[in-house]
Amino acid sequence: MTRVNAPHPAGYDGGLTTGAVARLLGVAPTTLRSWERRYGIGPAEREGGRHRRWTSADVELLMRMCDFTSAGLPPAEAARAAIAAASGGGSAPPGATRETRPAPARPSTAPGALPVGRGRTEARGLARAAVRLDARAVEDLLALALDRHGLVGAWDEVIMPTLNAVGRRWESSGERYVEVEHLLSWHVSTALRRAAVGPPPVRGAAVSLLACVPDENHTLPLEALTAGLMQRGLPVRMFGAALPVEALEEAARRTGPAGIVLWSQGRATASRPLAQRVASIEWGVRGARTTPAVVLAGPGWAGNQPDGVLRPTSLAEALALLSALASR
């Protein structure tokens, strides 16, 4: 698959700093410095003889190397292949200097790159880091995205495009990319838990219950919703994957939630009778029974929801809806 070129960020033509290049490609700055020292993959120019400034040709060479490492080549071999491709097919030793290499004429076609559609530049870097199984870079890029764009922005424009790209590649390649999906999912979950920090719970706010329907194991969207509610100081109980309906009923009667969110990733797990059963849960004193608002989330519910339920279509919409329910 042909690599999708990342868009040029502001200041690209004038040279990028090492930090900016690291974010663009999804590698740690220390990795870039190591590649320069070991393989001669470094910036051609320095400001004042000291500060690294990466030109478009420098970054293109790095993109080639990332493509080759994503395809499974060891870094030393990937560096030689990238240098050879940039110089029109000739070979170059790992220690070749950058100044002797001409700028590449066209993008690399090494397999392994993941197209992330309209995702931000950080999504492309995150996808590259995930394919390389570079856990440190994945962790750093997720933290940076959450800090820079906030939870909703990072989820919509960085995390979800990357998860979708990995999922599409896994579906089209058999089991080949399952390790990439597992690594990325684990680090996304860790990043969301770290982001789930906010003020003390709002006094008097009603709790929200979040659970995947039985046989559903995709929890990350609910983890993002949990983090968003906690950032707002709203009480939440997150039950995770494949919660039996009897357990959900018991939890609802014990906590008296304003809303219950049921996540379904695929149509096979979405069940209208299940949603209707949850909507019929009651608690409270006799004569003054209360029922929860049922919130159906996830693509599995498309065209398959009963009347009277709520159906947000984005993280921001779900947060606004549950915030309103909690304050009633």
Residue range 242-253, pLDDT digits in tens = 999 999 999 999
Predicted confidence at residue 6, as pLDDT, reads: 42
Span 77-93, average pLDDT: 71
Residue range 197-207, pLDDT digits in tens = 988 888 889 99
Predicted confidence at residue 285, as pLDDT, reads: 66
Cα–Cα distance measured from residue 24 to residue 46, given in angstroms and rounded to the nearest whole number: 19
Predicted confidence at residue 108, as pLDDT, reads: 35
Percent of the chain scored above 70 by pLDDT? 79
Which residues of the chain form beta strands (DSSP E)?
45-47, 51-53, 208-212, 236-238, 259-263, 293-297
Span 113-140, average pLDDT: 81
**pLDDT mean across residues, the chain:** 81
**Of the candidates 25, 15, 52, 16, which has an alpha carbon nearest to the alpha carbon of residue 36?**
52
Predicted confidence at residue 237, as pLDDT, reads: 97
Q: Could you tell me if 295 and 274 are in contact, meaning their C-beta atoms sit under 8 angstroms apart?
A: no
Whether 100 has a pLDDT exceeding 50, the answer reads no
What is the full DSSP assignment across 239-296? --SS--HHHHHHHHHHH--SEEEEE-SSTTT--HHHHHHHHT--BSSTTS-B-PEEEE
Q: How far apart are the first and last CA of the chain?
A: 52
Q: Is 254 exposed, middle or buried (0-12, 13-18, 19+ CB in 10 A)?
A: exposed
Span 219-236, average pLDDT: 96
- Between 66 and 255, residue with greater pLDDT: 255
Predicted confidence at residue 99, as pLDDT, reads: 35
Residue range 146-158, pLDDT digits in tens = 999 999 999 999 9
Predicted confidence at residue 209, as pLDDT, reads: 97
Which range (3-7, 154-158, 203-207, 277-281) has the least confidence? 3-7
Predicted confidence at residue 113, as pLDDT, reads: 57
What's the alpha-carbon Rg for the chain, to the nearest Å?
24
Residue range 301-316, pLDDT digits in tens = 988 778 889 999 999 9
Predicted confidence at residue 33, as pLDDT, reads: 85
Whether 279 has a pLDDT exceeding 50, the answer reads yes
Length of the chain: 328
Whether 169 has a pLDDT exceeding 60, the answer reads yes
Q: How confident is the model at residue 262 (pLDDT cuts 50, 70, 90)?
A: very high
Cα–Cα distance measured from residue 222 to residue 315, given in angstroms and rounded to the nearest whole number: 9
**Of the candidates 166, 204, 159, 158, which has an alpha carbon nearest to the alpha carbon of residue 182?**
166
pTM, entire model: 0.71
Which range (41-45, 91-95, 110-114, 231-235) has the least confidence? 91-95
Percent of the chain scored above 90 by pLDDT? 40
- What's the token pair of residue 273? 């009778």
